[in-house]
Structure 1
Amino acid sequence: MDIKVRELRDVSDLVQPDRFDTSLYTDPEIFDAEMDRIFKGTWVWVAHASEVPNKGHFVKSFVGKEPVIVVRDKTGQVNVLLNRCRHRAASVCEQKRGKTSVFVCPYHGWSYALDGKLRAVPHASVYGDDFNKADFPLVSLRVEEYAGMIFATFRADIEPLVDFLGPAKKWIDLFMKQGAGHPVKTLGEHRFRFSGNWKIQLENTTDAYHFPIVHKTFLDSLDADTSNVFDVLGQGGWVEDLGKGHSVMVMIPALVDLEENLEDEIPERFRELADELRSEGYEEGEVRKVVRAVGGSGFNLNLFPNVACSMAFFRVLRPISVDETEIRHIAIGMDGGPEAGNRVRMRLHEHFQGPMGFGSPDDAEGWERVQRGAAAGEDVHVLVNRGIDPLIGHVAGSNVTDVSAETGMRAAYAQWKRMMSA
């Protein structure tokens, strides 16, 4: 697909290795260019495979500001289609998710197959003999999938998804061990908007520095043992630049690989679950595997530009305007695993990231304050200079920085600069 790229002044000087210009939060011209150069220029996460499990299942999504339909067709292939009738531009799908055999435009009745092909046009004879339905399918994007994560792109000439993900694939594989031997599936989600630029949230997922300050109310709600687990600055964690704007922030090293240390004592907060699983007939090895997976992984994986595998859920951002962003917090669980385990996962998700939880409101308040503050002193830079020096002799290797370092932000903004200056 040919992509029209908006003209834009040279922005290469707006991002330095350790700081960037405030206009990245506030300039509508920059925002519009981001939609072309970044969101139309790379792989963008659109859905999880469990949201379209069978033929005919679909879910609405976005690539940047462009509405799309993610649908599994009759051959089992996943298609990502622009949600726009080829006739007069009406959307052909308004349900958030569901199952269908055809998409029909409600305006003039043009109907499309699940692969986007135009199937029928009412009163087609009026168009004349040279009208060919094959010329007017729904616009289809390139689609690839890794570990159940579905990505789409407007670019036909882009590198394969596995190359785009690069070293991040290792961390995706570790994250998916939360299925405890079962496939991971989505359990539900909630959406909200905040009055701020999308990159403010992108930064947050790789920011451990804020956790004990912003989330003090959450920490105060925990028992002593769990509070120690969430001492994210005091457990020897690290941040690593994974290339292409991706990064990983390891906050709880002991929970990086959920298939290790299964013989450890079961935490008190999960003993009731363990007893319930035993009473249902699960062997001790399976009980320990499920219990360890239920608490989530010990890291946040940021995938540029729009999705994070964040400890125990997917966080997806959608730019609305230069100063408004939509967030989806998607709970995950075990597909085919014990219902008791998924129930506990949902309760944990609700405690922190649910609509009435401790995490989301506190985070959103911080993001909005950044946007409000950015209106002052527009010639003052935003700093991302914390923890530039690598850690020497760290168990994770030589290419890592302190867990509170702003390495992930520097990685994202370096990729932003590359794409916006291309």
Structure 2
Amino acid sequence: MTAPKKVVLAYSGGLDTSIILKWLQTEYGCEVVTFTADLGQGEELEPARQKAEMLGVSEIFIEDLREEFVRDFVFPMFRANALYEGQYLLGTSIARPLISKRLVEIAEATGADAVAHGATGKGNDQVRFELAAYALNPEIKVIAPWRIWDLTSRTKLLEFAEQNQIPVAKDKRGEAPFSVDANLLHTSSEGKVLEDPAVEAPDYVYQRTVHPEDAPDTPEYVEIGFERGDAVSIDGKALSPATILTKLNELGGKHGIGRLDLVEGRFVGMKSRGIYETPGGTVLLEAHRGIESITLDRGAMHLKDELMPRYAELVYNGFWYSPEREMLQAAIDHSQAMVSGTVRIKLYKGRAQTVGRWSDQSLYSEAHVTFEDDAGAYDQQDAAGFIQLNALRLKLLAARARRTKG
């Protein structure tokens, strides 16, 4: 790859990306533009601006993308009830296509010919960042320093930082206990004290949720309103997508909801152990399935459940901007046309449980299911023929088995 002239760097302001910033400047002699996204990670972003200025950056982009993140990425994914390997709510995975989108857009706006990220060569994020970037601009150059530089240890990183007057926080002078990624949907912790999957994660790893045993002894109820598959209100009050998720995070975290200790199969081939906290997302998933249960036809619901693992895998593997994900999204979104109404959720000791649901679009008919007199709404004798037709092939199979038994 020819040396880039101008690079847009996904920049957190932390030690690693500050080192990458300086490395790009010294290795390629190029101009670096920094992009820092506020996805609800809960950190003050102004220090990132100050550090970028100190390192000689003149074009600095710091953007609040929380509403776009939830509206255009999290909510579409939740319409699918997406769970990777049956458990993971894809909090890190779903943030990467938005970051890549803005990297590519800023590169075009500033005349940059390359983008750069700080993902390592062992993880999934390098794949997600780069697949998204190439899908949006096939001509873009992508620089992944962790795959090409010789700063292969924490000691070498710190030496490079000191040589280039990059400030190093005191607690960074040694091995960090674990690595954390956070956004409005979740926190992800992995590495170091978490690398042995046989050992229970220490409680200090958890940042957004109280221990379920320490959660309030009194349950709390919340009512979530939906329109066309998306949450639009809490307790009758209309709220923006990011505000809804923020509120559900507060409620879920208070009651110890959304903790997950998972060993997952990375796209690059290895297994890894992660500790995830998705309090608001866990409540939202429960509520969405609750409203679907009365508004979505059985055939549509079951087909959605069949498609979901494939959809989740596409998101996890970094194929958000692929035609197959968009095809699945179109089918999923079509299914949500009548998924509107309200769900009441009980929050208690680490669990979010649907305890009530109602909708003007409900397919639930009490007249048909009642154990009392249904006033002719359903003729139970119809079931006899239904059963005989469905039993026919089973009878034929059983008869053959009897004939050939001897």
Please, what TM-score do these two structures have when normalized by structure 2?
0.25
Identify the structure with the greater helix proportion.
2
Identify the structure with the greater strand proportion.
1
- Larger-Rg structure: 2
